[in-house]
A and B are shown apart, each in its own frame.
Chain A
């Protein structure tokens, strides 16, 4: 399989503090790749650098055959990269439908309409509440909305940052099942998760990030069996 995303030797820094050092990873077309690691390891920074809301200090990001390292976040969304950010970041006072439509800001009206139908089918609860302000939704529903908003941009690759954070175990499982369904639908996924056990169970391939470096990688099942990973991330 061809690589949809290829991050190569990526550096990122906040002022003088280095957050990523020479990170390399690949997301093959159609795959679900998980990135696990402790708080502050640099997972969110990696996603922000890939989606272009934070500049890379060094290294390359290639997407669908293009070097996108210097592209604006807008160009990246247009090319098919969508990030579901940590903490949802929905537009609280705007209605749910407006939130979704804005997800398709760079698409045509016809594509937005088709996208809405898809989200209503995926998350019926959002369809019921479509006219309500997004801020009135529960945490789990806001997470669905954030995913739906990203889907409206017709992504080829979805960057998901901690989608299960703050959700009850039942809701978290539902959200992760949706992520898998999206992958089965042909959308590639790069999933960042603190819930390492769930992420590894889901992932085709996984990377472990520690203090800004990739320290381990392999198929999800293989990492789940790795004693190091079990001790550090799975609490076994």
Chain B
């Protein structure tokens, strides 16, 4: 009974960590530019697919994973430089639609380069399950949890403890004010897209041994990351993490106790509920401004 619950909880927290990383990618770009980047899922896909391809080409696994993150950072910067920046004076809605275009392009190229097959990445440290309280935990899940925790802590430190991180926040709080102290919003956008590209790839490479990956894996992961970000309150870092974990656990519990057929419906039911009852999310932007 308890072991069953634990089993679902492990699965939920593992996928929840992946959603949290995806949601943080959304939050960082949204904060910097007001844009919801629908190419976020493709960064996750690239993390998985590039790792798989490089590992298959004979590169040792750690190098393949690091290389996939770098590729995704470059793609993120490329999306900003090539698609967003030329249109930066356009309305936010236009920019969002451009990210959908970028997403379709990346997915198309991935299909041409990597083919249509499903691929699994070799687990980072074997696949002998660890037994905890009667439930089995995959070593890869520990990788997911550990690396996610480190990434979240590093991001927290960056945004709360460094002037560069605060400069990025400053752009989101007050664009004009930031420009007037010499912070270039364009640079911030570039960093935001690069950072989100890297975050997505970390999530993709970590999850590829568990969930398999394919050229079109980004769509669902991106949508779930978006739901997680909205659930927690768009643009709120802590909210993104909470939203991701909540979504992962809700999915796993539904799959376990109801039916796995409904698993993918959970995020969409949740987002409907959030949009209707809590339009600003669980930890939605609290304004500290005195009007």
Contacts and interface: CB of A to CB of B under 8 A. Distances in A.
Interface of A: 51, 53, 72-74, 77-78, 82-83, 85, 89-94, 98, 101-106, 133-139, 149-150, 152-153
Contacts of A133: 288
B288 A101 contact: no
Nearest to A86: B176
Nearest to B166: A98
A169 B202 CA distance: 57
B231 interface: no
A101 B163 contact: yes
Interface stretch (B40-48, B60-68, B136-144, B181-189): B181-189
A93 B181 CA distance: 17
B125 interface: no
A105 B173 CA distance: 16
Nearest to A112: B163
A94 B182 contact: no
A105 B289 contact: no
B182 A106 contact: yes
Contact of B176 (A53, A72, A134): A53
Contacts of B169: 91, 93-94
Contacts of B183: 74, 102, 105
B174 interface: yes
Contacts of A90: 174, 177
Contact of B182 (A85, A134, A153): A153
B166 A94 contact: yes
Given A93-B173, A94-B169, A53 B289 contact: no
B291 to A, nearest CB: 10
A139 B290 CA distance: 8
- Mostly, the B contact residues are helix
Given A101-B163, A105-B182, 7 more contacts: A85-B180, A90-B174, A91-B177, A94-B166, A102-B178, A136-B288, A150-B181
B170 A94 contact: yes
B252 interface: no
Interface range on chain B (Cβ under 8 Å from partner): 20 to 34
A89 B177 contact: yes
A73 B178 CA distance: 10
B179 interface: yes
B249 interface: no
A74 B179 CA distance: 7
B290 A89 contact: no
A102 B180 contact: no
B259 interface: no
In the complex, which of the residues B167, B176, B178 has the most CB atoms of chain A within 10 Å of its own CB atom?
Answer: B176
A82 B184 CA distance: 15
A104 B167 CA distance: 11
B173 A91 contact: yes
Interface in B249-291: 287-290
Contact of B288 (A78, A93, A153): A93
A91 B182 CA distance: 14
Contacts of A101: 163, 166
B180 A77 contact: yes
A152 B170 CA distance: 16
A82 B163 CA distance: 19
Contact of B170 (A53, A72, A73, A102): A102
Nearest to B184: A74
Contacts of B167: 102, 105
Interface in B182-215: 182-184
A13 to B, nearest CB: 15
B234 to A, nearest CB: 15
